[in-house]
């Protein structure tokens, strides 16, 4: 096999070194399986470390050293699956502080399982990831500026392993609350694009916007940024875990965070109406049969009353997001009984219940849906500032939807 070395059983923590090129993923969110490094020809073969995920998935995040001044070809498995986002990998040259896409101009990268990268002459270490990473330290940095200013940093529960806290951010109502607004992300550990919009929601509530001020006088707000806390920190896929993942657990109660969230939603919504938004990332890139995967989209439901509130929310979000960096125009939303919604309904009927349909079974539910935020193309080129803006505008739309119910 000449210079082509193969690691048969690499794990995320393995430090792979062949000649000069070294690859590591021993940090929060890190994940890679190094399949081979061909120093002579400049080829690096990698794959996502699937761990307990059934079938295939696409989360990987690694740091490479030792290729300064070289062009390297990165190749992922050639099995007709998609491993790279529409804009190519996310790239950081400063240890994960700032990120850009291989195709920052928004043009589509092909193929979905390989890319080339030319390292600058002094580029000693570069981090590559399937999406812009987001782990606990990012949330901590965001929350630092709000600590002591009307937010309560609480703990929902211990993580599944019992070794970590699952964060619960509270913004308590200043008056008697009539509403409970609840936001969750990372039921699927790898879905990093959901957290910046959540930051935007928090900002919109706390920064004196009219909608935020109304909410603070009328609602208790709660946020769980990492429903699968262990998975986020360990760099798991999280999606399609064996025997089932966090977002199929709402009847079975396997996971500590799901049990605790269900209890919170029931207990703390007494005498209030619930608005619940579960924030996700979709597939890694769009396919001809599913163009919505590079967009922002949300799901309708079969309940007529709740679906009417969802439609009101869509209408409001179109309005509040108008002119924003990322387009939300409602065109890619998935209606009950259509497309992927049918697959999900079958899973729920078989006992593998997701978060939002479970919340819709509560008698005081006013609106509960899942919002999907494309990984790299997200109705425009995904960046943290643009995604935060999207979240701020989503919050405004949710508030307007709640306010409409109070009009005589």
Footprint on this chain of Zn ion (rule: CB under 5 A): 188, 191, 280
Q: What length is written for the chain?
A: 408
Enumerate the β-bridge partners of residue 183. Answer: 223, 277
Residue 70 · residue 76 · CB < 8 Å: no
Pairing status of strand 152-158 against strand 296-298 = unpaired
* Cβ nearer to Zn ion, comparing 378 with 402: 378
- Report in angstroms how near the CB of residue 398 gets to Zn ion at its nearest: 20
Give the integer Cα–Cα distance in Å for 408 and 406. 6
Supply 188's token pair: 């699927």
> Phi and psi of 386, rounded to 5°?
-65, -40
DSSP symbol at 293: G
CB of 234 to Zn ion, least distance (A): 17
- Which of 273/355 has CB closer to Zn ion? 355
- Give CA–CA dist 300/6, Å, rounded: 47
In the complex, minimum distance from the CB of residue 14 to Zn ion, in angstroms, rounded to a whole number: 27
> Closer to Zn ion at the Cβ: 138 or 191?
191
End-to-end CA distance of the chain: 77
Beta carbon of residue 246, minimum distance to Zn ion (angstroms, whole number)? 9
Nearer to Zn ion, 280 or 400 (CB): 280
Going from the C-alpha of 192 to that of each of 132, 296, 316, 398, the distances in angstroms are 7, 14, 25, 22
Give the residue with the Cβ less far from Zn ion, 61 or 191.
Answer: 191
Rounded to whole angstroms, how far apart are CA atoms 208 and 230?
34
Q: Given the complex with Zn ion, which of 129 and 215 has the nearer CB atom?
A: 129
Q: Report in angstroms how near the CB of residue 289 gets to Zn ion at its nearest.
A: 19
282 close to 291: Cβ distance less than 8 angstroms: no
Report the C-alpha gap between 50 and 285 in whole angstroms: 19
Closer of 49 and 191 to Zn ion (Cβ): 191
Match 């700032």 to its residue by tokens.
Answer: 98
**Dist CA 133 CA 15 (whole Å):** 20
Q: Is the distance from CB of 298 to CB of 197 less than 8 angstroms?
A: no
Distance CA 203, CA 145 (A): 10
Copy the structure tokens of residue 170: 């509270």
Which H or E run includes 310? helix 304-321
The kind and range of the H/E element at 387 are helix 384-406
Q: Using the minimum distance from each CB to Zn ion, give the nearer residue, 36 or 133.
A: 133
Shortest Å, Cβ 187 to Zn ion: 6
Tell the smallest beta-carbon distance from residue 247 to Zn ion (Å): 6
* CB closer to Zn ion, 82 vs 316: 82
Q: Residue 195: which of 99, 290, 131, 259 has the closest Cα?
A: 131
Pick 31 or 320: Cβ nearer Zn ion: 31
User: 302 Cβ partners below 8 Å, 6+ apart?
Assistant: 336, 337
CB of 130 to Zn ion, least distance (A): 14
Q: How far is the CB of 239 from Zn ion (least distance, A)?
A: 6
Rounded least distance, CB 249 to Zn ion, Å: 13
């Amino acid at each position: 096999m000449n210079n082509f070395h193969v690691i048969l059983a690499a794990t995320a923590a393995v430090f792979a070194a062949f000649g000069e090129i070294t690859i590591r993923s021993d940090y929060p969110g890190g994940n890679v399986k190094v399949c081979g490094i061909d120093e002579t020809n400049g080829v690096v073969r990698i794959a996502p470390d699937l761990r307990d995920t059934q079938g295939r998935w696409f989360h990987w995040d690694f740091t490479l050293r030792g290729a300064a001044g070289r062009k390297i070809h990165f190749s992922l498995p050639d099995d007709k699956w998609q491993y790279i986002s529409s804009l190519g990998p996310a790239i950081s040259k400063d240890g994960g502080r700032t990120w850009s896409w291989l195709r920052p101009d928004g043009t589509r990268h092909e193929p979905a399982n390989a890319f080339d990268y030319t390292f600058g002459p002094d580029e000693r270490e570069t981090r590559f990831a399937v999406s812009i990473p987001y782990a606990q330290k990012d949330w901590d940095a965001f929350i630092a500026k709000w600590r002591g200013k009307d937010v309560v940093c609480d703990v929902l529960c211990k993580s599944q392993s019992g070794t970590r806290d699952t964060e619960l951010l509270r913004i308590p109502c200043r008056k008697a609350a009539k509403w409970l607004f609840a936001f969750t992300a990372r039921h699927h550990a790898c879905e990093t694009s959901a957290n910046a919009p959540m930051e935007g929601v928090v900002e919109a509530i706390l920064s004196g916007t009219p909608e935020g001020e109304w909410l603070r006088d009328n609602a208790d707000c709660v946020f769980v940024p990492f429903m699968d806390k262990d998975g986020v920190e360990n760099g798991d896929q999280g999606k399609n875990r064996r025997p089932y993942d966090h977002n199929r657990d709402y009847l079975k109660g396997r996971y500590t965070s799901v049990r605790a969230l269900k209890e919170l939603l029931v207990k703390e919504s007494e005498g209030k109406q619930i608005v619940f938004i579960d924030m996700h990332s979709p597939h890694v890139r769009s396919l001809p049969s599913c163009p919505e995967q590079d967009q922002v989209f949300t799901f309708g439901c079969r309940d007529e009353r709740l679906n009417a509130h969802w439609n009101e929310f869509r209408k409001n979000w179109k309005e509040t997001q108008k002119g924003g960096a990322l387009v939300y125009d409602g065109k890619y939303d998935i209606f009950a009984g259509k497309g992927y919604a049918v697959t999900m309904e079958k899973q729920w009927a078989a006992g593998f219940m997701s978060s939002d349909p479970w919340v819709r079974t509560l008698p005081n539910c006013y609106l509960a849906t899942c919002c999907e935020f494309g990984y790299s193309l997200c109705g425009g080129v995904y960046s943290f500032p643009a995604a935060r803006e999207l979240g701020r505008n989503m919050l405004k739309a949710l508030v307007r939807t709640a306010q409409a119910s109070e009009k005589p």
